[in-house]
Amino acid sequence: MFSFSKLTEFGFNPLHYFAKDVGIDLGTAHTLIYVAGSGIVVKEATLAAINTKTGQVIAVGDEAKKMMGRTPLHVEVVKPIVNGVISDFEVTQEILKTFLKQALGGGAFGNFRRAVVGVPSNLTEVERKSVEDVVVSSGVSRAYLIDEPLAVSLGARLPIDEPTASMIVDIGEGTTEIAIISMNGTVKSKTLKIAGGKLNEEIIRFVRDEFRLVIGEPTAEELKVQIGSAMPLTERLEMAVQGRDLATGLPKEVVVKDIHVRTAIIRSLKTIVDAIREVLEISPPELAGDILRRGVFLSGGGSMLKKFDELVAKELFVSTYIIDDPLTCVARGTGIAVENFPQFMGILSQPLLPKEIRI
Protein backbone atom coordinates (compact mmCIF):
# COMPACT_ATOMS: atom_id res chain seq x y z
CA MET A 1 0.00 0.00 0.00
CA PHE A 2 1.37 3.44 -0.98
CA SER A 3 2.28 5.80 1.86
CA PHE A 4 4.28 9.01 2.28
CA SER A 5 6.13 7.46 5.20
CA LYS A 6 7.79 4.82 3.00
CA LEU A 7 8.98 7.50 0.59
CA THR A 8 10.47 9.62 3.37
CA GLU A 9 12.45 6.59 4.58
CA PHE A 10 14.57 7.02 1.45
CA GLY A 11 15.08 10.78 2.03
CA PHE A 12 12.28 11.83 -0.32
CA ASN A 13 9.54 14.12 0.93
CA PRO A 14 6.60 14.52 -1.51
CA LEU A 15 5.50 17.68 0.32
CA HIS A 16 8.58 19.44 -1.00
CA TYR A 17 6.93 19.47 -4.41
CA PHE A 18 4.37 21.84 -2.94
CA ALA A 19 7.00 24.26 -1.59
CA LYS A 20 6.48 27.90 -2.50
CA ASP A 21 8.75 30.93 -2.64
CA VAL A 22 7.44 34.19 -1.19
CA GLY A 23 8.30 37.86 -1.04
CA ILE A 24 7.34 39.65 2.18
CA ASP A 25 6.94 43.35 2.91
CA LEU A 26 6.79 43.32 6.70
CA GLY A 27 5.82 46.95 7.22
CA THR A 28 4.93 49.02 10.26
CA ALA A 29 1.39 49.61 8.98
CA HIS A 30 0.76 46.78 6.51
CA THR A 31 2.15 43.37 5.64
CA LEU A 32 2.06 42.23 2.03
CA ILE A 33 2.92 38.73 0.82
CA TYR A 34 3.85 37.94 -2.77
CA VAL A 35 3.69 34.27 -3.79
CA ALA A 36 5.91 33.35 -6.73
CA GLY A 37 3.75 32.70 -9.76
CA SER A 38 0.62 34.21 -8.17
CA GLY A 39 1.52 37.80 -7.26
CA ILE A 40 0.40 39.66 -4.13
CA VAL A 41 -2.10 37.45 -2.32
CA VAL A 42 -2.13 39.02 1.17
CA LYS A 43 -2.39 42.69 2.07
CA GLU A 44 -3.36 43.20 5.72
CA ALA A 45 -2.70 45.61 8.57
CA THR A 46 0.27 44.66 10.78
CA LEU A 47 -1.88 44.65 13.91
CA ALA A 48 -3.03 42.15 16.50
CA ALA A 49 -5.81 42.30 19.09
CA ILE A 50 -4.76 40.61 22.33
CA ASN A 51 -6.77 39.55 25.37
CA THR A 52 -4.54 40.89 28.15
CA LYS A 53 -6.12 38.55 30.71
CA THR A 54 -5.24 35.36 28.85
CA GLY A 55 -2.49 36.58 26.52
CA GLN A 56 -4.44 35.09 23.59
CA VAL A 57 -4.36 36.75 20.16
CA ILE A 58 -8.02 37.10 19.20
CA ALA A 59 -7.65 38.87 15.84
CA VAL A 60 -4.93 39.95 13.42
CA GLY A 61 -4.70 42.13 10.35
CA ASP A 62 -7.67 44.11 9.11
CA GLU A 63 -9.96 42.44 11.66
CA ALA A 64 -7.80 43.84 14.45
CA LYS A 65 -7.72 47.25 12.73
CA LYS A 66 -11.51 47.47 12.97
CA MET A 67 -11.16 47.20 16.76
CA MET A 68 -8.78 50.16 17.18
CA GLY A 69 -10.20 52.57 19.76
CA ARG A 70 -13.26 50.38 20.26
CA THR A 71 -12.05 47.62 22.60
CA PRO A 72 -12.90 46.87 26.26
CA LEU A 73 -10.19 47.28 28.90
CA HIS A 74 -9.00 43.67 28.66
CA VAL A 75 -8.45 43.79 24.87
CA GLU A 76 -5.51 45.70 23.43
CA VAL A 77 -4.72 46.35 19.76
CA VAL A 78 -0.94 46.40 19.36
CA LYS A 79 1.56 47.30 16.65
CA PRO A 80 4.39 44.76 16.97
CA ILE A 81 6.63 46.66 14.53
CA VAL A 82 7.74 50.20 15.40
CA ASN A 83 9.72 52.31 12.93
CA GLY A 84 10.47 49.21 10.90
CA VAL A 85 11.91 47.34 13.92
CA ILE A 86 10.27 44.30 15.53
CA SER A 87 9.32 45.30 19.07
CA ASP A 88 7.25 42.20 19.97
CA PHE A 89 8.64 38.97 18.50
CA GLU A 90 5.82 36.65 19.58
CA VAL A 91 3.02 38.85 18.26
CA THR A 92 4.84 39.43 14.96
CA GLN A 93 5.30 35.69 14.64
CA GLU A 94 1.60 35.04 15.24
CA ILE A 95 0.62 37.66 12.65
CA LEU A 96 3.02 36.31 10.04
CA LYS A 97 1.96 32.70 10.62
CA THR A 98 -1.66 33.68 10.00
CA PHE A 99 -0.82 35.59 6.82
CA LEU A 100 1.34 32.76 5.46
CA LYS A 101 -1.54 30.35 5.98
CA GLN A 102 -3.73 32.73 4.01
CA ALA A 103 -1.08 32.82 1.27
CA LEU A 104 -1.31 29.02 0.97
CA GLY A 105 -4.96 29.43 0.11
CA GLY A 106 -6.15 27.00 2.77
CA GLY A 107 -4.65 24.00 0.97
CA ALA A 108 -3.85 20.86 2.92
CA PHE A 109 -0.38 20.58 1.40
CA GLY A 110 2.38 23.09 0.90
CA ASN A 111 5.10 24.93 2.71
CA PHE A 112 7.52 27.74 2.06
CA ARG A 113 10.99 27.09 0.76
CA ARG A 114 12.47 30.59 0.91
CA ALA A 115 11.40 34.17 1.44
CA VAL A 116 12.86 37.51 0.43
CA VAL A 117 11.93 40.13 3.03
CA GLY A 118 12.13 43.91 2.60
CA VAL A 119 13.71 45.72 5.59
CA PRO A 120 14.79 49.31 6.34
CA SER A 121 18.39 49.85 5.29
CA ASN A 122 19.46 51.22 8.69
CA LEU A 123 18.66 48.09 10.73
CA THR A 124 21.46 46.75 12.91
CA GLU A 125 22.70 43.15 12.56
CA VAL A 126 20.70 42.21 15.67
CA GLU A 127 17.52 43.74 14.24
CA ARG A 128 18.10 42.02 10.89
CA LYS A 129 18.62 38.69 12.66
CA SER A 130 15.33 39.26 14.51
CA VAL A 131 13.50 39.68 11.18
CA GLU A 132 15.13 36.54 9.80
CA ASP A 133 14.25 34.55 12.94
CA VAL A 134 10.60 35.62 12.96
CA VAL A 135 10.19 34.64 9.30
CA VAL A 136 11.86 31.23 9.76
CA SER A 137 9.90 30.51 12.95
CA SER A 138 6.69 31.33 11.08
CA GLY A 139 7.19 28.45 8.65
CA VAL A 140 9.73 29.49 6.00
CA SER A 141 12.85 27.36 5.53
CA ARG A 142 15.24 30.18 4.55
CA ALA A 143 14.89 33.95 4.81
CA TYR A 144 16.87 36.44 2.77
CA LEU A 145 16.74 40.18 3.43
CA ILE A 146 16.74 43.03 0.92
CA ASP A 147 16.96 46.74 1.72
CA GLU A 148 13.67 48.46 0.94
CA PRO A 149 15.12 51.04 -1.52
CA LEU A 150 16.53 48.17 -3.59
CA ALA A 151 13.19 46.37 -3.43
CA VAL A 152 11.41 49.55 -4.57
CA SER A 153 13.82 49.86 -7.51
CA LEU A 154 13.10 46.27 -8.53
CA GLY A 155 9.36 46.74 -8.11
CA ALA A 156 9.44 49.89 -10.26
CA ARG A 157 11.53 48.09 -12.93
CA LEU A 158 14.32 50.66 -12.67
CA PRO A 159 17.72 49.74 -14.20
CA ILE A 160 19.48 49.01 -10.89
CA ASP A 161 22.20 46.90 -12.52
CA GLU A 162 23.38 49.70 -14.82
CA PRO A 163 25.95 52.42 -14.00
CA THR A 164 23.29 55.09 -13.70
CA ALA A 165 21.62 56.58 -10.62
CA SER A 166 18.06 56.01 -9.44
CA MET A 167 17.01 58.10 -6.45
CA ILE A 168 14.34 56.44 -4.30
CA VAL A 169 12.28 58.10 -1.57
CA ASP A 170 10.11 55.47 0.15
CA ILE A 171 7.74 57.00 2.72
CA GLY A 172 6.18 54.28 4.83
CA GLU A 173 4.34 54.33 8.13
CA GLY A 174 7.36 54.16 10.43
CA THR A 175 10.35 55.29 8.35
CA THR A 176 11.28 57.30 5.28
CA GLU A 177 14.03 55.69 3.22
CA ILE A 178 16.08 57.91 0.92
CA ALA A 179 18.68 56.20 -1.26
CA ILE A 180 20.66 56.54 -4.46
CA ILE A 181 20.89 53.18 -6.24
CA SER A 182 23.45 52.24 -8.88
CA MET A 183 25.13 49.00 -10.02
CA ASN A 184 23.00 46.74 -7.78
CA GLY A 185 23.88 48.64 -4.63
CA THR A 186 23.19 51.68 -2.48
CA VAL A 187 25.64 54.54 -3.07
CA LYS A 188 24.25 57.02 -0.52
CA SER A 189 21.31 56.68 1.83
CA LYS A 190 19.52 58.19 4.80
CA THR A 191 16.70 56.87 7.00
CA LEU A 192 14.29 59.10 8.89
CA LYS A 193 11.83 58.15 11.61
CA ILE A 194 9.52 60.80 10.22
CA ALA A 195 6.89 59.15 8.05
CA GLY A 196 3.14 58.50 7.83
CA GLY A 197 2.73 57.65 11.52
CA LYS A 198 4.46 60.86 12.57
CA LEU A 199 2.13 62.89 10.35
CA ASN A 200 -0.86 61.25 12.03
CA GLU A 201 0.52 62.17 15.46
CA GLU A 202 0.91 65.79 14.42
CA ILE A 203 -2.65 65.94 13.09
CA ILE A 204 -3.93 64.53 16.41
CA ARG A 205 -1.90 67.12 18.32
CA PHE A 206 -3.06 70.01 16.13
CA VAL A 207 -6.77 69.10 16.41
CA ARG A 208 -6.39 68.79 20.19
CA ASP A 209 -4.66 72.17 20.53
CA GLU A 210 -6.73 74.07 17.96
CA PHE A 211 -10.20 72.61 18.55
CA ARG A 212 -9.79 71.13 22.05
CA LEU A 213 -10.93 67.84 20.56
CA VAL A 214 -9.39 64.40 21.10
CA ILE A 215 -9.39 62.15 18.03
CA GLY A 216 -7.88 58.73 17.40
CA GLU A 217 -5.30 57.56 14.87
CA PRO A 218 -7.86 56.17 12.35
CA THR A 219 -9.55 59.61 12.21
CA ALA A 220 -6.19 61.36 11.79
CA GLU A 221 -5.31 58.97 8.96
CA GLU A 222 -8.61 59.71 7.25
CA LEU A 223 -8.03 63.46 7.55
CA LYS A 224 -4.57 63.08 6.02
CA VAL A 225 -5.82 60.98 3.12
CA GLN A 226 -9.03 62.88 2.37
CA ILE A 227 -8.05 66.54 2.75
CA GLY A 228 -4.31 66.59 3.55
CA SER A 229 -1.85 68.17 1.11
CA ALA A 230 1.73 69.39 0.96
CA MET A 231 0.87 72.58 -0.95
CA PRO A 232 -2.27 74.71 -1.32
CA LEU A 233 -5.01 73.09 -3.41
CA THR A 234 -7.03 74.67 -6.21
CA GLU A 235 -10.24 73.92 -4.31
CA ARG A 236 -10.77 74.11 -0.57
CA LEU A 237 -11.52 70.87 1.19
CA GLU A 238 -13.05 70.24 4.59
CA MET A 239 -14.20 67.28 6.62
CA ALA A 240 -16.39 66.83 9.67
CA VAL A 241 -14.73 64.81 12.43
CA GLN A 242 -16.06 63.49 15.71
CA GLY A 243 -14.16 63.08 18.95
CA ARG A 244 -14.20 63.84 22.67
CA ASP A 245 -14.35 67.42 23.88
CA LEU A 246 -11.43 68.14 26.21
CA ALA A 247 -13.46 70.62 28.28
CA THR A 248 -16.66 68.65 28.83
CA GLY A 249 -15.60 65.07 28.09
CA LEU A 250 -18.66 64.73 25.84
CA PRO A 251 -18.82 63.77 22.16
CA LYS A 252 -18.31 66.71 19.81
CA GLU A 253 -18.07 67.34 16.06
CA VAL A 254 -15.93 69.97 14.36
CA VAL A 255 -15.14 70.84 10.74
CA VAL A 256 -11.45 70.58 9.83
CA LYS A 257 -10.17 72.31 6.69
CA ASP A 258 -7.32 71.36 4.39
CA ILE A 259 -5.25 74.33 5.59
CA HIS A 260 -5.44 72.97 9.15
CA VAL A 261 -4.03 69.59 8.13
CA ARG A 262 -1.36 71.25 5.99
CA THR A 263 -0.33 73.46 8.91
CA ALA A 264 -0.07 70.41 11.16
CA ILE A 265 2.21 68.37 8.89
CA ILE A 266 4.23 70.92 6.90
CA ARG A 267 7.18 70.94 9.31
CA SER A 268 7.70 67.19 9.00
CA LEU A 269 7.29 67.37 5.22
CA LYS A 270 10.00 70.04 5.06
CA THR A 271 12.25 67.78 7.18
CA ILE A 272 11.82 64.99 4.62
CA VAL A 273 12.58 67.38 1.75
CA ASP A 274 15.69 68.67 3.58
CA ALA A 275 16.88 65.08 4.05
CA ILE A 276 16.48 64.43 0.31
CA ARG A 277 18.53 67.56 -0.33
CA GLU A 278 21.27 66.33 2.03
CA VAL A 279 21.56 63.01 0.19
CA LEU A 280 21.72 64.85 -3.14
CA GLU A 281 24.44 67.15 -1.84
CA ILE A 282 26.73 64.27 -0.84
CA SER A 283 26.13 62.20 -3.99
CA PRO A 284 28.97 61.80 -6.52
CA PRO A 285 28.79 64.47 -9.28
CA GLU A 286 28.15 61.99 -12.11
CA LEU A 287 25.27 60.39 -10.25
CA ALA A 288 23.85 63.82 -9.38
CA GLY A 289 23.74 64.48 -13.12
CA ASP A 290 21.85 61.22 -13.64
CA ILE A 291 19.29 62.23 -11.00
CA LEU A 292 18.85 65.66 -12.60
CA ARG A 293 18.19 63.92 -15.91
CA ARG A 294 16.03 61.04 -14.65
CA GLY A 295 14.34 62.59 -11.60
CA VAL A 296 13.39 61.41 -8.10
CA PHE A 297 11.06 58.43 -7.63
CA LEU A 298 8.57 58.41 -4.73
CA SER A 299 6.97 55.28 -3.25
CA GLY A 300 5.12 54.20 -0.13
CA GLY A 301 1.80 55.41 1.26
CA GLY A 302 3.23 58.83 2.19
CA SER A 303 4.06 59.57 -1.44
CA MET A 304 0.32 59.66 -2.18
CA LEU A 305 -0.19 62.79 -0.08
CA LYS A 306 -1.66 65.40 -2.39
CA LYS A 307 0.98 67.61 -4.07
CA PHE A 308 3.93 66.15 -2.16
CA ASP A 309 5.64 65.35 -5.46
CA GLU A 310 5.16 68.99 -6.48
CA LEU A 311 6.68 70.18 -3.20
CA VAL A 312 9.80 68.05 -3.77
CA ALA A 313 10.14 69.25 -7.36
CA LYS A 314 9.71 72.88 -6.33
CA GLU A 315 12.23 72.75 -3.46
CA LEU A 316 14.92 70.68 -5.21
CA PHE A 317 14.47 71.74 -8.87
CA VAL A 318 14.35 68.07 -9.90
CA SER A 319 11.57 66.24 -11.73
CA THR A 320 9.67 64.04 -9.29
CA TYR A 321 7.55 60.99 -10.10
CA ILE A 322 5.25 58.76 -8.06
CA ILE A 323 5.87 55.10 -8.84
CA ASP A 324 2.85 53.17 -10.13
CA ASP A 325 0.96 51.57 -7.24
CA PRO A 326 3.40 52.91 -4.61
CA LEU A 327 1.80 50.97 -1.74
CA THR A 328 2.80 47.59 -3.19
CA CYS A 329 6.16 48.50 -4.71
CA VAL A 330 8.33 46.89 -1.99
CA ALA A 331 6.28 43.68 -2.12
CA ARG A 332 6.53 43.56 -5.91
CA GLY A 333 10.29 44.03 -5.62
CA THR A 334 10.67 41.16 -3.16
CA GLY A 335 8.54 39.03 -5.48
CA ILE A 336 10.74 39.81 -8.48
CA ALA A 337 13.83 38.97 -6.41
CA VAL A 338 12.47 35.60 -5.26
CA GLU A 339 11.18 34.67 -8.74
CA ASN A 340 14.58 35.49 -10.27
CA PHE A 341 16.60 34.28 -7.32
CA PRO A 342 19.86 33.31 -9.09
CA GLN A 343 20.00 36.71 -10.80
CA PHE A 344 19.49 38.78 -7.64
CA MET A 345 21.12 36.55 -5.02
CA GLY A 346 24.12 38.88 -4.91
CA ILE A 347 22.10 41.81 -3.54
CA LEU A 348 20.39 39.81 -0.78
CA SER A 349 21.59 39.42 2.81
CA GLN A 350 22.32 35.73 3.31
CA PRO A 351 20.71 33.90 6.26
CA LEU A 352 23.09 33.38 9.14
CA LEU A 353 21.68 30.00 10.16
CA PRO A 354 20.10 28.46 7.07
CA LYS A 355 17.54 25.74 7.53
CA GLU A 356 17.89 23.71 4.36
CA ILE A 357 15.03 22.02 2.57
CA ARG A 358 15.95 19.37 0.03
CA ILE A 359 14.12 19.42 -3.24
Here the CATH number for the domain that contains residue 341 is: 3.30.420.40
Q: Is residue 156 part of a domain?
A: no
Q: What is the enclosing helix (H) or strand (E) of 129?
A: helix 125-137
User: Residue 198: what pLDDT?
Assistant: 96
Q: Are residues 187 and 310 in the same domain?
A: yes
Phi, psi for 146 (deg, rounded to 5)? -135, 135
Count of Cβ atoms closer than 10 Å to residue 234 Cβ: 5
Residues 97-114: what's their mean pLDDT?
79
292 located within any domain: yes
Q: Sorting pLDDT into bands at 50, 70 and 90, what band is 105? A: confident
Give ∠ CA 237-239-242 in degrees, rounded to 5: 165
Q: Which residue range forms the structural domain that includes residue 226?
A: 196-264
Q: Give residue 110's pLDDT.
A: 58
Q: In this predicted structure, what is the pLDDT of residue 50? A: 95
Please write the tens of the pLDDT for every residue from 9-54.
Answer: 444 444 445 678 999 999 999 999 999 999 999 999 999 999 999 9
pLDDT at 3 over 60: no
Chain center to CA of 241: 27
**pLDDT tens digit sequence for 275-310:** 999 999 999 998 999 999 999 999 999 999 999 999
Band (352; pLDDT cuts 50, 70, 90) = low
pLDDT-above-90 percentage for the chain: 79
Same domain flag for 204 and 118: no
pLDDT digits (tens, 9 = 90+) for 111-157: 899 999 999 988 999 999 999 999 999 999 999 999 999 999 999 99
Half-sphere exposure of 259 (CA within 13 A, CB side): 3
44 falls within a domain: yes
The average confidence (pLDDT) of the chain is: 90
What is the bridge-based pairing of β-strands 320-322 and 296-299?
parallel
- What pLDDT does 351 receive? 64
On whether both 112 and 44 belong to a single domain, the answer is yes
Do 176 and 320 sit in the same domain of this protein?
yes
**Number of domains the chain contains:** 3
pTM: 0.88
Domain match, 225 and 255 both: yes
* pLDDT tier for residue 70 given thresholds of 50, 70 and 90: confident
The whole-number pLDDT of residue 107 equals 52
